[in-house]
Amino acid sequence: MQKKSQEKFQCPECESKNIRFRFKVNNKIKNNAYANVTEEIQCASCFMDIPANVFIYNTDYEIEDNKKIWQSYYKPVHLKVAAQCSKCNLYYWQIEKQIFDMNITASDIFYQTYDTKGSGGKMVCRLCDPEAFKNNKQ
Ligand SMILES: [Zn+2]
Ligand SMILES: [Zn+2]
């Protein structure tokens, strides 16, 4: 048995060993690959949120396994449900990376336009409409 303190991190997307956040998740969608994911890690390099179980490894052998599982199992689902700007079509991790590179610390990177049909309005990102975020300065 491996102890928690021996956990090592490597992003299965970009191979960075640096993590930005580690957080608990409660997935509402129960019939996809993420049904059993309870914890995710946001990579400090590519900014993707990735299930902790494929970000953590104990042996080098696991790194390759994690990459395969991420690419074939989790990532296709993630790409379908990930927040994406309706104007520039960038995903949240691409936007967060750009915002980070601009030295802006912000947790809110999208606003949602109102949609009367209730199907969730369109998302517009901070890069496309910086004015909309001026009132939310931290
Ligand atoms: Zn990464
Ligand atoms: Zn945008």
- Do residue 53 and residue 12 come from a single domain? yes
List the chain pLDDT tens, one digit each, 138 residues.
555 557 899 999 999 999 999 999 987 777 788 998 999 999 999 999 999 999 999 999 999 999 999 999 999 999 998 999 999 999 999 999 999 999 988 778 999 887 666 666 789 999 999 998 886 544
Whether residues 40 and 76 share a domain: the answer is: yes
Ion ligand 1 contact residues with beta carbon within 5 A: 11, 13-14, 16, 43, 45-46
Question: Cα(77)–Cα(29) distance, rounded to whole angstroms?
Answer: 11
The dihedral sign for the CA sequence 52, 54, 55, 56: positive
4 CA to centre of ligand 2 in angstroms: 39
Please write down the long-range contacts of 112-117, taking CB distance under 8 Å and 24 or more positions apart.
113/86
Residues 16 and 72 in one domain: yes
Q: Out of 39, 55, 81, pick the residue that ends a domain.
A: 81
Are residues 8 and 66 located together in one domain of the fold?
A: yes
Ligand with minimal distance to 128 CA: 2
Ligand lying closest to the C-alpha of residue 15: 1
Distance 35 CA to ligand 1 centre (A): 22
Same domain, 28 and 73: yes
What's the whole-model pTM score?
A: 0.84
Total domains, the chain:
2
Which one of the ligands is nearest to 16 CA? 1
- From the CA of 26, how far away is ligand 1's center (Å)? 22
Ligand nearest to the backbone CA of 89? 2
d(CA 56, CA 52): 6
Out of 40, 60, 81, a domain closes at: 81
Question: Are residues 9 and 77 located together in one domain of the fold?
Answer: yes
- What tokens appear for 47 in the block? 């900014």
Same domain? For 75 and 106 the reply is: no
Classify residue 87: in a domain, yes or no. Answer: no
Domain span at residue 62 reads: 4-81
Per the CB < 8 A criterion, the answer to whether 120 and 81 are in contact is no
105 part of a folded domain? yes
Helix, strand or coil for residue 115? coil
The runs of H, that is alpha helices, within the chain are: 60-69, 75-81, 92-101
Q: Is residue 116 part of a domain?
A: yes
